Structure 1
């Protein structure tokens, strides 16, 4: 690899979160990284939560693809991959998801392990526990190469208190 390219790659990756698309899951009792993001903050397993089930389909859709929650509400998103290929769910804003999707297209094997992301193998389930503490409209998507581009996206509406 040419030194200039390597230096550029390192400079561009500085400050970016670590990303992973493997079947890795958080071990029970693992401390959840709590960082306030525009779309909320991670919740631990002890926080009471409303359960919302989402199906991940090989037609590159989530069912449902629209969720409404109240500001301050903690939800347990249970993700069921009913398909034959790996899917993921990443919470965020459209600009953040667009940026991450572009990186995934360039570096499909990059790793991440953030509390607002879950990777779900075919026929398996996963979950995200999240507190939506800011009102607004936010997005979720599968950022595996080609899935986002095919329309595997959804919307979360957080209503103000």
Structure 2
């Protein structure tokens, strides 16, 4: 009986190790890589960019809606929702944001806990510290259904 028990434990341990090796690393966000760079370090200097969100004249906007940064530059986005509705700031490529927007249509109250995105209630503020490690064109947009379509898109050019 003891030999059978030890054999069973050894078999279980072997299967457990094999399963964990086969499964590989857990992918929380594409191995914590982002198209527009990487989460910044709040302890390091950063250029501050104020971004205001809101609605006016039937449009939804970000101010500013265009930002230029240098490759390797760290930006502290100071986000402020001056509007009457919830808004988001999601930093990614256009393709990624369009794909995410489709998911949001199915689940409009989706909570975001990503370093590259924040959802703000009316009259609230928050911040994102971001290091732009890759050159290219990126965007920030509000992916709450209807908001992007109403004009809530900004661009980041990294040179």
Q: Same fold (TM over 0.5)?
A: yes
Aligned to 1:78: 78
Aligned to 1:36: 33
Which portions of structure 1, spanning 4 or more consecutive aligned residues, are displaced by more than 6 angstroms?
Answer: none
CA RMSD of aligned residues (A): 1.6
Q: In structure 1, the residue corresponding to 2:103 is in which secondary structure?
A: helix
**Contact persistence 2:112–2:119 (CA under 8 A):** no
Which moved further from structure 2: 50-59 or 34-43? 34-43
**TM-score normalised according to structure 2 size:** 0.76
Unmatched tracts of structure 1, length 5 or more: 1-14, 18-33
Report the alpha carbon displacement of residue 45 of structure 1 after superposing the two structures with TM. 1.6
Unmatched tracts of structure 2, length 5 or more: 1-26
Q: In structure 2, the residue corresponding to 1:58 is in which secondary structure?
A: strand
The reply to whether residue 67 of structure 1 matches residue 70 of structure 2 is no
Aligned to 1:118: 118
Aligned to 1:107: 107
Structure whose CA Rg is larger? 2
Q: How many residues align?
A: 129
- The structure with the greater share of residues assigned to helix is 2
